[in-house]
């Protein structure tokens, strides 16, 4: 394989504690190595006057699978005037908020990302998810199956059977080639089958008679029983509802008393995703009532050491919302009267899809924008706070560089408040954004976009740093931290990297994509003791309820995962 010496750039690596020092990075055989190990054949990449970081890691995005594809199918207008024709080795690209798989891969590469987690995989449609992941070029990916409304999980947890829950989870991760435990609107999506919801963590799920709080705690316990790389990854109850911050605090407090187990080096037992949507005060969306509760939420998160979160920052764009939170999407279509798609996934989950315009002319979109940024700006430890837009729910992932600009520049935030938002003054009144002076550094951005998420996903041994022995994901951004002081430069530089080396291969050379690399699909194979009861339950439920045979359920073979990377976990005891 090729050898590269990335010379003379300003390097930011929170794991190694390198804060903008000029350091050379050596790459050989797909790994980061000492300079002295390079042969004379090594090619030099001149990074003089540029910023060098490890490849980005995205902890939460909806980029593959049936609901993303429904979004693509029912929003042809999302591709109107935003396509580019095939050129060189690149395929045709299209789509803004629900881009094609090719554009997804290319755009993450242009932003210098090397790994992306698909945040919600319906187990029954895991084959579809993996086919799309396979077709997304360049980036390594994995997918989190959803468990929070799963009949097996709810039945075992109601009886307090953590070992059976864990055995079922291990089995399902293997069947779906999944990575970890996603928990969307615990219990509420199942209640949606009755036209109901679970608005708080204490509302019992119809028929199953278990509460969201019990599901959250049970899944944390099962996760730590198995010692999985990532923790229980939750989207709490009552997303998007005014006044939901107290429900969010109740959700977060379920992690009390739990400690991470296993050998993957993460500190947290609960990751709360798109926290912005869960930090609202007030009783309605009107500016006289609605208010930011980011400070209350962050006061709690800053006081504990076993919780991480991602922002879910609203980017003030027209986008496509899609989530396994079925009742929320119905609520949204009632609000904006735009087209609604709803899918039920048998015993497992559901999903809804609605287009949404976060118009800067409305107060509420401005307030949502503010709250997302406040959460990160109030975070004491940025190794626990990650950049996300819950792509495409709060905005498309191609806006990460813009979010980074807002985090790094008060001037850029003030520009939004003064010139872009129609109700900027109201947003200053009802939120905290106007009084926050904090401007994050490139070192802190490196925590939020690579070192932190890699650690939280249990992938710190592969991604997030430029330490010797790590996978060689290296990006060079055309940003000179000594000279560039225009915030717009941050956005353009982080949108279009100069060079990207992915797993030791040069993917972007001088701003041009020259290779589609050799993408990998990561999954977790957790070994547990043989469990006859769980296997009997699985067989019975498939006979009784499922529309497919058990034999047609597993994501099997090279067709779906041509280049798998298996992380083995031993939970036999």
Partner 1 sequence: METVTVTMKNQPTLFLEADNISPDVFAGKKSSEIAELHAFEGREQTTLGKYFEVSGNAGPSAADTRIVVKGDVTRVKYIGMKMSAGEIVVENSADMYTGAWMQGGTILVKGNVDAFTGIGMKGGNLIVEGNAGNYLGAAYRGDWRGMQGGTIRVKGNAGSDTGYFMNGGEIIIEGDVDVHVGTHAEGGRIIIKGNGKSKIGGQMVKGEIVVFGTIDVMMPGFKYVEDVEMEVDGTEGTFALYHGDLGERHPKKKGQIIYGNLYQKI
Give the tokens for residue 234.
């939750």
- The gap between the terminal CA atoms of the chain, to the nearest Å, is 41
What is the CB neighbour count within 10 angstroms for residue 246? Answer: 14
Which 3 state secondary structure label does DSSP give 297?
A: helix
- Segment (H or E) for 204: none
Beta bridge partners of 60: none
Residue with tokens 């043989």: 530
List of residues 6+ apart from 558 with CB closer than 8 A: none
CA dist 548 and 487 (Å) reads: 53
Neighbour order of strands in the sheet with 318-323: 318-323, 349-357, 341-345
Binding site for partner 1 (CB under 8 A): 74-78, 80, 85, 337-339, 355
What DSSP designation does 15 have? T
Q: What are the backbone angles phi and psi of residue 429, rounded to the nearest 5°?
A: -70, -45
- Cα atoms in the 13 Å half-sphere on the side-chain side of 98: 25
CA dist 121 and 167 (Å) reads: 19
List of residues 6+ apart from 419 with CB closer than 8 A: none
What is the CB neighbour count within 10 angstroms for residue 318? Answer: 15
CA dist 342 and 496 (Å) reads: 36
């Amino acid at each position: 394989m090729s050898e590269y010496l990335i010379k003379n750039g300003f390097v930011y690596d929170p794991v190694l504690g390198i804060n903008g020092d000029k350091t050379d990075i050596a790459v050989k055989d797909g790994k980061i190595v000492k300079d002295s190990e390079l042969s004379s054949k090594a090619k030099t990449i001149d990074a003089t006057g540029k910023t060098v970081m490890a490849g980005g890691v995205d902890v939460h995005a909806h980029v593959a699978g049936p609901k993303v594809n429904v979004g693509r199918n029912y929003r042809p207008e999302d591709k109107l005037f935003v396509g580019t024709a095939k050129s060189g080795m690149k395929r045709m690209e299209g789509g803004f908020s629900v881009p094609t798989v090719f554009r997804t891969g290319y755009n993450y590469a242009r932003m210098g990302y090397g790994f992306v987690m698909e945040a919600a995989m319906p187990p029954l449609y895991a084959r579809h998810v993996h086919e799309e992941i396979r077709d997304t070029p360049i980036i390594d990916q994995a997918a989190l199956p959803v468990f929070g409304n799963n009949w097996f999980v709810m039945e075992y947890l109601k009886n307090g059977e953590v070992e059976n829950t864990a055995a079922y989870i291990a089995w399902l991760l293997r069947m779906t080639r999944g990575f970890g435990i996603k928990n969307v609107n615990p219990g509420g999506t199942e209640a949606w089958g009755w036209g109901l919801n679970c608005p708080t963590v204490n509302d019992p799920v119809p028929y199953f008679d278990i509460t969201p709080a019990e599901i959250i705690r049970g899944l944390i316990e099962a996760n730590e029983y198995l010692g999985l790389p990532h923790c229980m990854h939750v989207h709490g109850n009552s997303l998007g509802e005014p006044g939901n911050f107290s429900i969010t605090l109740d959700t977060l407090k379920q992690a009390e008393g739990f400690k991470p187990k296993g050998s993957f080096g993460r500190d947290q037992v609960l990751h709360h995703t798109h926290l912005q949507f869960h930090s609202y005060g007030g009783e309605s969306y009107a500016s006289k009532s609605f208010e930011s509760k980011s400070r209350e939420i962050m006061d709690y998160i800053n006081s504990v050491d076993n919780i991480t979160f991602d922002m879910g920052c609203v980017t003030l764009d027209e986008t496509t919302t899609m989530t396994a939170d079925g009742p929320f999407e119905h609520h949204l279509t009632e609000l904006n009267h735009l087209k609604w798609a709803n899918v039920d996934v048998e015993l497992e989950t559901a999903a809804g899809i609605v287009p949404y315009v976060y118009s800067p002319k409305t107060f509420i979109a401005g307030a949502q924008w503010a709250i997302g940024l406040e959460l990160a700006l109030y975070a004491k430890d940025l190794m626990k706070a990650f950049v996300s837009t819950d792509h495409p729910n709060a905005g498309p992932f191609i806006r990460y560089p813009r979010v980074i600009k807002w985090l790094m520049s008060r001037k850029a935030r003030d520009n939004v408040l003064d010139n872009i938002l129609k109700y900027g003054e109201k947003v200053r009144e009802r939120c905290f954004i106007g009084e926050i002076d904090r401007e994050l550094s490139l070192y802190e951005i490196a925590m939020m976009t690579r070192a932190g998420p890699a650690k939280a996903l249990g992938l710190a041994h592969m991604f997030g740093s430029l330490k010797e022995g790590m996978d060689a994901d290296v990006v060079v951004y055309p940003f000179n931290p000594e000279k560039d002081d225009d915030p717009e430069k941050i956005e353009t530089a982080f949108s279009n990297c100069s060079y990207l080396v992915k797993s030791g291969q040069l993917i972007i050379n001088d701003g041009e994509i020259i290779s589609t690399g050799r993408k990998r699909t990561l999954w977790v194979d957790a070994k547990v003791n043989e469990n006859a009861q769980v296997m009997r339950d699985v067989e019975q439920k498939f006979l009784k309820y499922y529309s497919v045979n058990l034999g047609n359920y597993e994501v099997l073979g090279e067709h779906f995962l041509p280049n798998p990377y298996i992380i083995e976990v031993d939970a036999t005891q």
